[in-house]
Structure 1
Amino acid sequence: MNLMSPRLLTALAVETVRQPRPTFGRLMSLNLPRDVLWQALALTLILSTLITELTSVFLAPAPDGGFVISPLMLVTVQAAVPVLTIFLIHWLGRGMGGTGRLEDAILAVTWLQVVMLGLQLVQIVALALLPPLSGIVVIAGLALFLYLLTAFIAELHGFASMGRVFAMILFVLVGVALGLSFVLTLIGVTVPR
């Protein structure tokens, strides 16, 4: 199976949205090596950064005096969040009796990034052609992200209840957000005005 085929990637992404647990289960059965998974994650992060930068240059330039993030800072943030997510999925899932491997947590986040790249392209088209719809696409994208993340974690750790997994995701998100804001406040980082 050639996973780099655009046709196969598109078909898998569509199937993931329709049936996330069985599709992710099939992906896990490939038993891809850890180094391949890390490289795939790095590639998706680079592509996402490039798409974000190109979009901001052509479709949404920052206003004069607006806050602009450098591409290096953007890729750093876009790398830190998925890596933290991978280890949280692995450690917390195992701590709650899950059976998932670290490789499967890397696969979950990487495949989620691939699907979200496709959605990012849809958002760009919506922003270019129908700007009022782009907000709806963003909200739908967030809902899809949370739904797929919940399904992937449930499948990789063998949890039966997606509702409990979703509740744990929300709990962790709130905890991480509070912890991060506390750390940023301690080191003196402020939001530009």
Structure 2
Amino acid sequence: MTLQGFVNLAIQSIGAPRDVARLLMSTRMSREALWTAFALVVVANATVYGLSLVMDPAPAGVPVFLSTAAGYLVVEAITLGGTILALTWLGRLLGGAGRMADVALLMIWMQALNLIVQAVTSVLLPLSPEFAGIVVLAGSAIGFWIMLNFIDEAHGLGSLFKAFFVFLLSLLALGFVLSMILVLAGFTPEGMMGNV
């Protein structure tokens, strides 16, 4: 994909997310290509995050594993992988028929779009924290809209309300599982916050 093609598809994702979802799913990417794309978006997001830390170091209250690019990379990989699994399984449980490969591709594309927002925010933050905050809020709202449409298309639910329900349950399930993983790994709220 060329840079121009990437930009065009990103813009189209805002105005016609269902069309983009169908286009992406029609590519039927191989498992190897999906793993490569997964790794690329995770590394790219972690790199941008690391650069943002150089320009504006993490404050004292930030959890230890988010105070470095390497920590962010691990969290990003686990979260993205968990999101793909949760959306696939819970979507099927609620009557959807989505393939994990399709859900994975759409979530990977969501992370690519998030990369744009993250990069813009990193540039704006030192110049105007207020404007950067507005960009984050706008990006989150648009991302939520795209996400619901992607879930609906992937599972063929025929309803954004059902897609929202799948998203909500996936969010709760993912939060619970991640909390359990952190507890089993020996992290405590005090430890995650570092020496505050």
Residues 42-191 of structure 1: pairs in structure 2 closer than 5 A = 42-58=39-55, 60-63=56-59, 69-181=67-179, 184-185=182-183, 187-191=186-190
Measured at CA, do residues 38 and 182 of structure 1 come closer, stay the same or move farther in structure 2, by a change above 3 Å? closer
Report the equivalent of 2:22.
Answer: 25
1:129 is paired with a residue whose SS is coil
Alpha-carbon contact 2:90-2:169 (below 8 Å) kept = no
How many matched pairs? 189
Deviation at 1:122, TM superposition (A): 1.9
- Secondary structure at the aligned position of 1:61 is classed as coil
Aligned-residue CA RMSD (Å): 2.1
Unaligned runs of 5+ in 2: none
TM-score (norm 2): 0.86
Contact kept, 8 Å, 1:38 with 1:106, in 2: the verdict is no
Where structure 1 has 5 or more consecutive residues not aligned to the other structure, the ranges are: none
Counterpart for residue 16 of structure 1: 13
CA deviations over 1:95-125 (Å, ceiling 9, x no partner): 2221211110110111101111111122123
Deviation at 1:178, TM superposition (A): 4.1
Candidates 38, 41, 55, aligned match of 2:38:
41
C-alpha displacement at 1:141, in angstroms? 2.0
**Percent of aligned positions that are identical:** 33
Per-residue Cα deviation, 1:108-154 (whole angstroms, up to 9, x for no partner)? 11110111111112212321332211112122222222222111110
TM-score where L is the length of structure 1: 0.87
SS of residue matched to 1:141: helix
**Shift of residue 162 of structure 1?**
0.7
Please give the alpha-carbon distance, in whole angstroms, between the structure 1 residues aligned to 2:81 and 2:18. Answer: 22
From the superposition, tell whether residues 65 and 112 of structure 1 become closer, same or farther in structure 2 (CA, over 3 Å): closer
Question: How many Å apart are 1:188 and its aligned residue?
Answer: 4.8
Q: With CA pairs under 8 Å and 6+ residues apart, which has the higher RCO, 1 or 2?
A: 2
